[in-house]
Structure 1
Amino acid sequence: MNYQADVCIVGAGPAGALLSYLLAKKGLSVILLEQNVALGQAFRGEHLNEEGEAVLKSHHLFEAVEALGILRMEKLEYYAGGRAFKTILPDEAIGHLGIHVPQANLLKGILQKAQLFPNFTCLLHTKVTKLIEDATGHYRGVMAIKNGNPIKIDSQLIIGADGRYSTIRKQAHIDVQKQKHGFDLLWAKIPAPADWEPSIKMALINDKQLSLFTQVGGYLQIGWNIEQGSFPQLRKLAFTPFIQQLVEAFPELTKTVQAQITSWQDFVLLDVFSSHCNSWGTKGLVLLGDAVHTMTPTGAFGLNSALKDADCLASLLNKDTLAQFNVQYFQQMREQAIEEVLAKQIEKEQTFASNFINKAS
């Protein structure tokens, strides 16, 4: 089966979804491809900061997302010895210290709006297998498998918004430079105690960051930094002494942790790295979000940077610019801001332990 569109966007994460909506609203025909059978299945960052919030509000999307469920963080607390010794409250002008937005709610809120346009099509369970290139080296579309059947999409511009392991980036032979940050991350999700306030809580364990993020629906997300590459060896050790460190850091979670986290299998391991590409695209093809500049989880910048990429790219695209789009101009507009965010992440990682030097006794 053959499809045709002005723009083919690969990856229905936040960047791909927002860009689809903005381009469809401008009158371009858009086909959005997602390899998963449902939206929001892959694990991704779920915290908006004020910049990401502003992008959604500028396009009148925030209310639609909010109606599906969000949670504003009311405070940031640093813990030592089982109790909070420092509390940070939000700037009154901002009103929160981050907003938890479940990935499914964010995507649904945006794509419900996109689906109002007849020039927008979303194809789920569709995996790109090959880029289509013409005799001049210009990319003109993709080959894909949808529900087990081959399809072809012809387009004037291909957008790679398909994440840190981007197929589009690999198919286009765009080099990526990866940087390890000295740690990997263990994730877990547990029910929050009934009286738990929407908050972010931090502790220091073995000179590594342990974080709790309140989530929509009465849950807590645990993010536990461990030494880079240490998990295979760590999981050979006894589990109880390891998890006891979490209980000692946050005693109010004792019953929940003992009931919900009983083995290493209750954690999900994230291989932490950042990356950047010297080229953000080529003739007929553009990369954005994690596909071109992967962030670490530190500071929850990844989602917000991806939304800003999409907002910026959409401002540059219209029917007249598609055929000869200058990807270098887009790169120049966003690259410095991305470099600043990555530098900020490294600074936060290197200075995190300093928050505990003068902790209350």
Structure 2
Amino acid sequence: MEPTRTPAVDVEVVTRDCVIAGGGPAGLMAGYLLARRGLRVTVLEKHADFLRDFRGDTIHPSTITLLGELGLRRRFLDLPVTRLSTLDAVVDGQRLTMIDFSTLKPPDNFLVLAPQWTFLDFLAREAAVFPGFELRMCTAATEILTDGDRVVGVRATATEGGVERELEFHAPLTVAADGRTSRVRRAAGLVPDELGVAIDVLWFSLPKPPNPPPSTLTYLDGRSMVLTIDRGDRYQGGLVIPKGGFDDVRAAGLAAFRRRLTATAPVLGSVVGELRDWEQVRLLSVQVDRLPCWYRDGLICIGDAAHAMSPVGGVGVNYAIQDAVALANTVAGPLLRHGSVPLSALDAVQRRRARPVRPMQWIQQRAHARVGHGGVPRPRALSRPARTALALLQPLVRRVTARAVGRGFLPEHVRS
């Protein structure tokens, strides 16, 4: 079908089997998988590169397994990434192992920490070997094209050398993978339900101190929660604050901010002086939402465009990738055989992926409420019998959390 809009004479028109808005983990993985099946796919990324800091760094065992199924596992692990078998927390000065990935079935029984741009560059390079794959940088989808009620592509703006030009991509399937503020989703009239969040996170980067302790995800006490995500020679640091509390933190001053960090995470004492300006601190306004309906005829949303996840568990990247796998498994056949995707297939993708998304978002909301109200149990505040029971239960808790976080509630697998 052709769009009802007649393009201007100077508008480039490109016809593909699928056009994907957004070159994040969901968009690039979907593009890779569909091109691998022999389809013509274009991924549109509005930025000139993937170098944006304070994005999800955690590549979970479920994603490593998928890379193995695609024959990419070894090449990815040969990159400068960090492997972790456990995730530790220091609670009131006492180190606890919260998650033990080594309890999972080998060989994918570890977590990988990698800057998101490393992962995205890797996926883009690997996808480029397929003749049908195309990645257009500096190209932003701006509106959808329709034929009656059916979405038949997108209009986009490409910027080259400071000069903008208009393009139209016509395709039987449009995928919105352009994040939690998705422009394509908005143009399609799809509105997410806000599920409510009690926290925000202030992100910053600090060098590791001399003789750093073992990798520690978080430091927690009665006052604050500080994240220290291992990035080789640096920490991606974070401070959890009440929702909307950044103005109060700024008003107290940068010196008070540094003192707050070191009071909870003394390990940062020798390096926190590197924070000299508020420009070094980025606010992540945490949101958790979910679309009631992820699709309309000819279009589907995946990843954060369908369901924004919070940083709790670091599962956002991996759930986005799982969405992409479920989508490719479901729509590649209809596109190859019929050149179209029925609504029933798009509905099947939503029904399948909503099953793990809902319980994980529920867990994240409960975690927000506990952290926001100081409700996290602290070992020193527990009675001796309670501490004994906690110690006895820890091995079981580590196994359960490793399975829930590392594999997820419904791990996807690549279909041939």
In the superposition, the TM-score normalised over structure 1's length comes to 0.92
> For residue 58 of structure 1, what is the aligned residue in structure 2?
69
1:222-259 CA distance string (max 9 Å, x none): 1211111111232122221221121122323212111x
Alignment of 1:247 with 2:287, yes or no, is no
**RMSD between aligned residues:** 2.2
> For residue 183 of structure 1, what is the aligned residue in structure 2?
199
Alignment of 1:137 with 2:146, yes or no, is no
Alignment of 1:344 with 2:376, yes or no, is no
* Residues 116-265 of structure 1 mapped to structure 2, 5 A cutoff: 116-134=129-147, 136-147=148-159, 148-196=164-212, 199-205=215-221, 207-215=223-231, 217-258=232-273, 260-265=274-279
* 1:130 CA displacement: 1.6
1:52–1:305: 8 Å Cα contact kept in structure 2? no
**More deviation in 87-96 or 203-212?**
87-96
2:219–2:225: 8 Å Cα contact kept in structure 1? yes
User: Of 101, 116, 125, which aligns to 2:114?
Assistant: 101
* 1:207 CA displacement: 4.7
1:61-98 CA distance string (max 9 Å, x none): 232322222112244333355x3343446242447663
> For residue 295 of structure 2, what is the aligned residue in structure 1?
281
- Alpha-carbon distance between aligned partners in 1 of 2:375 and 2:339, rounded to the nearest angstrom: 49
2:43–2:134: 8 Å Cα contact kept in structure 1? yes
Percentage of identical aligned residues:
25
* 1:100 CA displacement: 0.8
User: Of 323, 327, 335, which aligns to 1:313?
Assistant: 327
Aligned amino acid, residue 310 of structure 1: A
> For residue 389 of structure 2, what is the aligned residue in structure 1?
none
CA separation of 1:269 and 1:97: change in aligned 2, threshold 3 A: farther
* 1:124 CA displacement: 0.4
- Alpha-carbon distance between aligned partners in 2 of 1:56 and 1:321, rounded to the nearest angstrom: 29
CA separation of 1:110 and 1:272: change in aligned 2, threshold 3 A: same
> For residue 18 of structure 1, what is the aligned residue in structure 2?
29
- Alpha-carbon distance between aligned partners in 1 of 2:22 and 2:98, rounded to the nearest angstrom: 36
* 1:324 CA displacement: 3.1
State the secondary structure of the residue aligned to 1:92.
helix
- Alpha-carbon distance between aligned partners in 1 of 2:173 and 2:270, rounded to the nearest angstrom: 53
Aligned amino acid, residue 285 of structure 1: L
> For residue 77 of structure 1, what is the aligned residue in structure 2?
88
1:120-157 CA distance string (max 9 Å, x none): 111000011221101x3111111111111111111111
CA separation of 1:163 and 1:197: change in aligned 2, threshold 3 A: same
Aligned amino acid, residue 329 of structure 1: A
1:232-289 CA distance string (max 9 Å, x none): 232122221221121122323212111x112333210011110100111111001000
- Alpha-carbon distance between aligned partners in 1 of 2:89 and 2:153, rounded to the nearest angstrom: 50
CA separation of 1:243 and 1:20: change in aligned 2, threshold 3 A: same
2:197–2:287: 8 Å Cα contact kept in structure 1? yes
CA radius of gyration, larger in? 2
1:79–1:202: 8 Å Cα contact kept in structure 2? yes
CA separation of 1:96 and 1:26: change in aligned 2, threshold 3 A: closer
> For residue 79 of structure 2, what is the aligned residue in structure 1?
68
- Structure 2: segments with no counterpart, 5+ residues: 1-11, 383-416
Alignment of 1:35 with 2:50, yes or no, is no
CA separation of 1:324 and 1:91: change in aligned 2, threshold 3 A: closer
- Alpha-carbon distance between aligned partners in 1 of 2:99 and 2:188, rounded to the nearest angstrom: 46
CA separation of 1:237 and 1:42: change in aligned 2, threshold 3 A: closer
- Alpha-carbon distance between aligned partners in 1 of 2:237 and 2:280, rounded to the nearest angstrom: 11
1:316-358 CA distance string (max 9 Å, x none): 1221265133311111111111001101212333445555422
2:198–2:369: 8 Å Cα contact kept in structure 1? no
In the superposition, the TM-score normalised over structure 2's length comes to 0.80
* 1:198 CA displacement: 5.6
1:180–1:272: 8 Å Cα contact kept in structure 2? no
**More deviation in 101-110 or 18-27?**
101-110
Aligned amino acid, residue 283 of structure 1: D
Aligned amino acid, residue 105 of structure 1: T
Aligned amino acid, residue 341 of structure 1: M
Aligned amino acid, residue 36 of structure 1: H
- Alpha-carbon distance between aligned partners in 2 of 1:54 and 1:68, rounded to the nearest angstrom: 16
State the secondary structure of the residue aligned to 2:251.
coil
Alignment of 1:329 with 2:343, yes or no, is no
- Structure 1: segments with no counterpart, 5+ residues: none
